[in-house]
Amino acid sequence: MSGPIQDDVFAAGEGDRWYERNRDALGHDDWPLRLIERNALHPESVLEIGCANGWRLAAIAESGAPRLVGVDVSSAAISAGVSQTLDLSVGRADRLPIEEEFFDLVIVNYVFHWIDRSTILAAISETDRCVAPDGYLIVGDFLPDRPTKVPYHHLPDDSVFTFKTDYAAAFTALSTYEVIDREIYNHDDPSAEPTSENRGVCTLLRKTLSGLYR
Beta carbons within 8 Å of 156's beta carbon, 6+ residues apart = none
Q: What is the pLDDT of residue 3?
A: 56
What does the alpha-carbon distance between residue 145 and residue 160 come to, in Å, rounded to a whole number? 21
Pairing of strands 161-164, 148-151: antiparallel
Q: What's the pLDDT tens digit per position in 23-81?
A: 999 988 899 999 999 999 999 999 999 999 999 999 999 988 899 999 999 999 999 99
Sign of CA dihedral 128, 204, 175, 117: negative
Q: What is the pLDDT of residue 1?
A: 41
- Integer angstrom CA distances of residue 161 from 44, 156, 164: 36, 9, 9
**179 near 172, Cβ under 8 Å?**
yes
* 33 CB neighbour count, 10 Å cutoff: 17
Q: What's the pLDDT tens digit per position in 81-120?
A: 999 899 999 999 999 999 999 999 999 999 999 999 999 9
Ranges of H-type helices in 62-181:
75-79, 120-130, 168-172
What does the alpha-carbon distance between residue 160 and residue 66 come to, in Å, rounded to a whole number? 38
What does the alpha-carbon distance between residue 203 and residue 200 come to, in Å, rounded to a whole number? 10
What does the alpha-carbon distance between residue 197 and residue 89 come to, in Å, rounded to a whole number? 33
CA 24 to chain centre: 19
What does the alpha-carbon distance between residue 19 and residue 148 come to, in Å, rounded to a whole number? 24
Average model confidence (pLDDT) across the chain: 95
Amino acid at 164: K
- Integer angstrom CA distances of residue 10 from 14, 69, 92, 130, 158: 4, 21, 9, 23, 11
In the chain, what are the domain boundaries? Answer: 6-207
SS3 label, residue 89: strand
Note the CATH number of domain 6-207: 3.40.50.150
pLDDT band at 152; cut points 50, 70, 90: very high
Q: What is the pLDDT of residue 93?
A: 97
pLDDT band at 185; cut points 50, 70, 90: very high
Amino acid at 104: D
Q: What is the pLDDT of residue 103?
A: 98
Say yes or no to pLDDT of 2 above 80.
Answer: no
